[in-house]
Amino acid sequence: MRLALAEKRLDAVAVAERFWDRRPEFIAMNPSGAVPLLRDGDTVVNGVFHIPEYLEETYPKVKLWPSDPAWRVEARRLYDWFLVTFQTEVTEPLLMQKVHPRYCGSAMPTRTGGPDINAIRGGMDAVRRHLDLIGHLADTRRWLAGDTMSYADLAAAAQLSAIDYSGDVPWSHNEQAKTWYMRIKSRPSFRPLLAETVPGVPPARHYAVLDF
């Protein structure tokens, strides 16, 4: 969502919300207690599937859904794919094992022993399959969902950035996917994300390098 706001050239302030603390003021805005949440004046919009629709209807000057209906369907399909399937198969297994326990502390479920090696291995196997999909799309289209950059590209890039932070993306596996990511990583909208760090978890050395 932050990438979308930046691409639309909308001024916004990112607020870190420890959603696991269920802060009363936050729950009052969003009873589900989930992020992301967009507050635009008196309007509150919850969730990654509702915020884009609000932004497109309210701020249509820069469009991030394709204008062609068929490509718009494809962009929504891929957007869902990266925010649901990729999230489940790759981001959650890797981040839950490596980053979340230190970042969320006692809010994480109790776990004995070290990281779940099987979960990490499964996430690493899955990311290669997703890189092949991205590489194929990038090799046959200008952007993942057609001739224009869309929410599909932003969703895919955001997921990859999250796991690339700890160096878990095997970029040598698919050169087309890497080239596409370098294109979108070089956009001004990406700079604030690349400049941030997770407390106590340093990024991989190449994480903020645009041409890596």
* Angstrom distance (rounded) from CA 105 to CA 107: 5
Which two tokens mark 127? 């990311």
Which two tokens mark 192? 């604030």
Say if residues 65 and 149 touch (Cβ distance below 8 Å). no
Residues 41 and 75 in one domain: no
Q: What is the CATH number of the domain that holds 28?
A: 3.40.30.10
Residue-level pLDDT, tens digit, the chain, 212 residues: 999 999 999 999 989 898 888 999 999 999 999 899 999 999 999 999 999 999 999 999 999 999 999 999 999 999 999 999 999 999 988 887 666 555 555 444 445 555 677 778 888 899 999 999 999 999 999 999 999 999 999 999 999 999 999 899 999 999 999 999 999 999 999 999 999 988 888 899 999 999 88
Residues 35 and 123 in one domain: no
Spatial CB neighbours of 160, under 8 Å, sequence gap ≥ 6: 169, 181
Residues 151 and 190 in one domain: yes
Instruction: Name the helix (H) or strand (E) containing 101.
Output: helix 100-104
Q: Name the pTM for this structure.
A: 0.89
Residues 116 and 173 in one domain: yes
The answer to whether residue 64 is domain-embedded is no
Residues 143 and 111 in one domain: yes
Spatial CB neighbours of 116, under 8 Å, sequence gap ≥ 6: 93, 97
Residues 76 and 140 in one domain: yes
CA Rg value for the chain: 17
Block residue for tokens 């916004």 = 12
Residues 111 and 15 in one domain: no
Domain that holds residue 26: 2-58
